[in-house]
């Protein structure tokens, strides 16, 4: 701005004052050159910039404009009128150019936003297509695993009392049982990914979801030396949603957080916020932060894709299930390396 607006105004003014009054043509030219910095200021800074530049030009030009014409005024008022008109025109040009530049900038911004939204929807559609094809396969596999699994669990219940508690085989038998449990949980997760149930919407207070989460993971966190901080607003935070599904979303995120912190202990913060503005819409937010290691940027882009987990004992489905649940609620879920370290924010539309 200094280079393109203020400096040219200063130079033109200096030339004006430095040029003798006999060079009328030079003054006429210089007077019009003032329009250039005014238009540049309007283009760069909008209406305010245009008007400020016009005002600055007027202030600089005013003493010079009327210094030499007082004696002419009583004979011929035309030059005085012309110069006064020029001052008005400076402001008019500054205002019109600034207004147009502002309008253009607003349009460009809207266009950019619309393009971003379109891109997001496109990606969502591509992902939805991939997910539904994948869902079919996963549902088939999970179903096939579950049938023999039921038979295995049934027979295990019969065999269990036959394995004496004080024998070495008992330890192996317990591993056998716990692995069966794990397989059952994994099959459950695969099925809830493949066959999502539609949410049963009721009006609820988002603070309850946060409180329930802390109650659910509290014991596990204490065991791992992780302290959980709960930050809630004093008034109810009303959203429409499925209580159990939202609890599952919160739990998925919190279990990930606990696992990311590991055994060295750490800190988790669960907070609820009123009216977080998101993409122009007012939403309520549930945020879960943890102070574990940050998420690598290349993983951050695929965090919500299925089977992108980095843990051997996880299916890599928790976040993709969570994202779908939140989207079915008309909300968004976001992950970022911020807050305590890593932060997940679930945004849900306000209950009206």
Ligand X SMILES: Nc1ncnc2c1ncn2[C@@H]1O[C@H](COP(=O)(O)OP(=O)(O)OP(=O)(O)O)[C@@H](O)[C@H]1O
Closest by CA to 209, choosing from 304, 338, 325, is 325
Residue 311 contact, options ligand X, Mg ion, none, Cβ 5-8 Å cut-off depending on partner type: ligand X
As measured in angstroms, the least distance from the Cβ of 154 to Mg ion is: 29
As measured in angstroms, the least distance from the Cβ of 226 to ligand X is: 12
Among 40, 251, 285, 303, binds ligand X (CB under 6 A): 303
Q: Which is nearer to ligand X, 213 or 342 (CB)?
A: 342
Among 37, 135, 318, 341, binds Mg ion (CB under 5 A): 318
Q: Which is nearer to ligand X, 314 or 330 (CB)?
A: 314
Count CB atoms within 10 A of the CB of residue 297. Answer: 8
Are 257 and 342 a contacting pair, CB within 8 Å? yes
Pairing of strands 226-231, 202-205: unpaired
Site size with Mg ion, rule: CB under 5 A: 2
Residues 307-346 that bind ligand X (CB under 6 A): 308-311, 314-320, 342
As measured in angstroms, the least distance from the Cβ of 268 to ligand X is: 9
As measured in angstroms, the least distance from the Cβ of 242 to ligand X is: 19
| Cα 293-294-298 angle, rounded to 5 deg | 135
Q: Does 257 bind ligand X (CB under 6 A)?
A: yes
Pairing of strands 266-278, 226-231: parallel
Q: Does 256 bind Mg ion (CB under 5 A)?
A: yes
Side-chain-side CA neighbours of residue 222 (13 Å) = 5
Pairing of strands 202-205, 238-241: antiparallel
Q: Which is nearer to ligand X, 96 or 183 (CB)?
A: 183
Closest by CA to 347, choosing from 289, 269, 287, is 287
Alpha-helical regions (H) of the chain: 7-18, 24-33, 35-67, 70-73, 78-159, 168-194, 206-223, 243-261, 297-300, 318-328
Which of these segments, 28-36, 179-187, 285-293, 317-325, binds Mg ion (CB under 5 A)?
317-325
> What's 65's DSSP letter?
H
Q: Which two tokens stand for residue 40?
A: 């540049």
Which of these segments, 53-61, 85-93, 196-204, 287-295, binds ligand X (CB under 6 A)?
287-295
Q: Does 65 bind ligand X (CB under 6 A)?
A: no
Q: Does 51 bind ligand X (CB under 6 A)?
A: no
Q: Which is nearer to ligand X, 12 or 315 (CB)?
A: 315
Question: Given the rule CB under 6 A, which residues bind ligand X?
Answer: 189, 252, 256-257, 260, 290, 292, 295, 303, 308-311, 314-320, 342
Question: Given the rule CB under 5 A, which residues bind Mg ion?
Answer: 256, 318
């Amino acid at each position: 701005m200094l280079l393109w607006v203020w400096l040219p105004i200063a130079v033109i003014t200096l030339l004006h004052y430095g040029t003798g009054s006999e060079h009328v043509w030079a003054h006429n030219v210089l007077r019009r050159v003032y329009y250039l910095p005014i238009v540049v200021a309007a283009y760069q800074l909008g209406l305010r910039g245009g008007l400020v530049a016009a005002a600055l030009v007027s202030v600089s030009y005013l003493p010079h404009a009327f210094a030499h014409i007082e004696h002419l005024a009583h004979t011929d008022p035309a030059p005085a009128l012309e110069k006064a008109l020029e001052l008005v025109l400076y402001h008019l040009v500054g205002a019109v150019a600034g207004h147009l530049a502002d309008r253009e900038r607003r349009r460009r911004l809207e266009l950019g936003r619309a393009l971003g939204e379109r891109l997001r929807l496109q990606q969502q559609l591509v992902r939805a297509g991939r997910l539904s094809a994948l869902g079919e396969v996963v549902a088939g596999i999970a179903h096939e695993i579950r049938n023999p699994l039921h038979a295995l669990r049934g027979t295990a219940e019969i065999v269990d009392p036959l394995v004496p508690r004080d024998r070495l085989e008992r330890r192996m038998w317990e591993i056998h049982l716990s692995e069966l449990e794990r397989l059952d949980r994994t099959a459950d997760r695969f099925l809830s990914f493949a066959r999502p149930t539609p949410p049963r919407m009721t009006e609820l207070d988002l603070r309850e979801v946060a409180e329930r989460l802390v109650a659910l993971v509290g014991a596990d966190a204490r065991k791992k030396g992780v302290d959980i901080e709960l930050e809630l607003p004093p008034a109810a935070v009303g959203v429409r949603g499925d209580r159990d599904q939202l609890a599952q979303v919160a739990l998925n995120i919190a279990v990930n957080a606990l696992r990311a912190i590991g055994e060295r202990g750490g800190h988790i913060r669960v907070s609820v916020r009123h009216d977080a503005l998101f993409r122009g819409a007012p939403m309520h937010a549930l945020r879960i932060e943890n102070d574990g290691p940050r998420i690598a940027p290349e993983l951050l882009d695929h965090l919500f894709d299925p089977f992108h987990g980095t843990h051997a004992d996880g299916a890599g489905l928790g976040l993709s299930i969570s994202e779908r649940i939140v989207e079915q609620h008309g909300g968004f879920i976001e992950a970022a390396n911020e807050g305590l370290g890593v932060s997940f924010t679930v945004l849900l539309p306000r209950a009206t």
